[in-house]
Amino acid sequence: MFRKVSLALAATWMLSGAAWADPIE
């Protein structure tokens, strides 16, 4: 269970990070 949460968190973090690093180019 913990691994699942960790995976979901990492995915969300990566997605938000990618969106933030590429706002309006």
Neighbours of 7 (CB within 10 A): 10
- For each of the chain's 25 residues, which pLDDT tens digit applies? 889 999 999 999 888 877 776 666 5
Cα diameter, the chain: 38
Tell me the three state secondary structure of residue 18: helix
Report pTM.
Answer: 0.48
| 17, two tokens | 């990070």
